[in-house]
Amino acid sequence: ELKVEQNPLFLSMQEGKNYTIYCNYSTTSDRLYWYRQDPGKSLESLFVLLSNGAVKQEGRLMASLDTKARLSTLHITAAVHDLSATYFCAVAYNFNKFYFGSGTKLNVKP
Amino acid sequence: DTAVSQTPKYLVTQMGNDKSIKCEQNLGHDTMYWYKQDSKKFLKIMFSYNNKELIINETVPNRFSPKSPDKAHLNLHINSLELGDSAVYFCASSPPWTGSNVLYEQYFGPGTRLTVT
């Protein structure tokens, strides 16, 4: 079974700081996803990364993918309180079997 | 609105009961999923249906039975509920697979919080 490991599991940071969330996976995969989940809410798709070296950016979030290292990163630049949420990476296998990481709970303090 | 919808949003029931959760999507998608999110927020795929056919059945107790009457609906029936079934259950859907370069996103429903007492 494909394993997806995220770290850190918890991240408390000050506004204005930068940080990176890491997502490692165990087996070659088709695609890598990043989702955001606010407390008590559903999952919101942030990024889909398809190929080695893919980089996508939206606002203060930037995601990248290194398929050789089986590693994806979600970089947060100059964090703001509105980014506080739980972030999940997920890896797709055989196009429709999705394995999720444990999630990173991000708390951005004013 | 186009979306993935689930009913009910909250479900509180006693051990031993049988309950169902319904999911509908009006996005025209071919594939639908059920996920379980436990109290530690860990998300695990349970089932996936493609065009009403079961294609993924993870190691889920056979008390859980999905049913897909048509492409737009995937219901989850749970027999003999146990305390450990308490979780949030998410339905999701995704479009037809057309090739490896397609983004192929999943769209999640709002979730059903099941509490077994």
pLDDT band at B102 (very low <50, low <70, confident <90, very high): low
Give the rounded percent of residues in chain A with a pLDDT score beyond 90: 82
CATH number of B75's domain:
2.60.40.10
**Predicted pLDDT of residue A82:** 95
DSSP for A24-57, please give it. EESS--SEEEEEEE-TTS-EEEEEEE-STT-EEE
Name residues whose C-beta falls within 8 Å of residue B58's C-beta, 6 or more positions apart in sequence: B44, B45, B46, B47
Is there a domain that residue A77 lies in?
Answer: yes
Instruction: Please indicate whether residue B21 or residue B95 has the higher confidence score (pLDDT).
Output: B21
Strand A104-109, strand A10-14: pairing: parallel
B56 closest CB neighbour out of A45, A90, A97? A97
CA distance A10 to A105: 5
Give chain A's domain count: 1
What is the extent of the structural domain holding B110? Answer: 4-96+106-116
pLDDT average, residue stretch A12-26: 96
Read off the pLDDT of residues A39-82 as tens digits, 9 standing for 90 and up: 999 999 999 998 888 999 999 999 999 999 999 999 999 999 99
Pairwise CA distance, residues A93 & A109, whole Å? 36
Residue B62 lies in a domain: yes
Nearest to A89 by CA among A71, A69, A77, A76: A71
Choose among B23, B25, B8, B17: nearest CA to B112.
B8
Give the DSSP H/E element, type plus range, for residue A27: none
pLDDT over 60 at A15, yes or no: yes
Q: What is the DSSP string of B43-60?
A: EEEEEEEETTEEEEE-S-
Classify residue A51: in a domain, yes or no.
yes
Domain count, chain B: 1
Of B44, B103, B109, the CB nearest to A42: B109
pLDDT at B32 over 60: yes
B109 at A interface, C-beta within 8 A? yes
State the average pLDDT over residues A13-35.
Answer: 92
Least confident of A19-23, A96-100, B65-69: A96-100
Q: Specify if B101 maps to a domain.
A: no
Cα–Cα distance for residue pair B37/A98, rounded to 1 Å: 14
Q: Mutation target for B interface from A46, A56, A67, A96: give the one with most B CBs within 10 A.
A: A96
Residue type, A35: Y
For residues B15 and B80, give the distance between their C-alpha atoms in angstroms, rounded to a whole number.
Answer: 7
What does the mean pLDDT of chain A come to?
Answer: 93
**Residue A15 domain-assigned?**
yes
Average pLDDT over residues B74-79: 97
pLDDT at B86 over 80: yes
What is the average pLDDT across B25-47?
93
Task: Measure CB to CB from residue B97 to each of A95, A97, A100 and give the nearest one.
Answer: A95
- The CATH number for A63's domain is 2.60.40.10
Angle at A59 between CA A57 and CA A64, to 5 degrees: 25
Chain A, nearest residue to B50 by Cα:
A96
Q: How many CB pairs under 8 A join A and B?
A: 58
Measured between CB atoms, does B13 come within 8 Å of chain A?
A: no
> Which residue range forms the structural domain that includes residue A37?
4-105
Distance, first Cα to last Cα, chain B: 34
From chain A, pick out residues whose CB is under 8 angstroms from the CB of B107: 45
- State the Cα–Cα distance between residues A66 and A51, nearest whole angstrom: 8
**Interchain proximity B43–A103, CB inside 8 Å:** yes
For A34, the enclosing helix (H) or strand (E) is: strand A31-37
pLDDT the model gives residue A85: 97
In a domain, A110, yes or no: no
User: Cβ(A104)–Cβ(A23) under 8 Å?
Assistant: no
Which has the closest alpha carbon to B30: B70, B74, B71? B71
* A26 found inside a domain: yes
The Cα of A18 is separated from the nearest Cα of chain B by a number of Å equal to 24
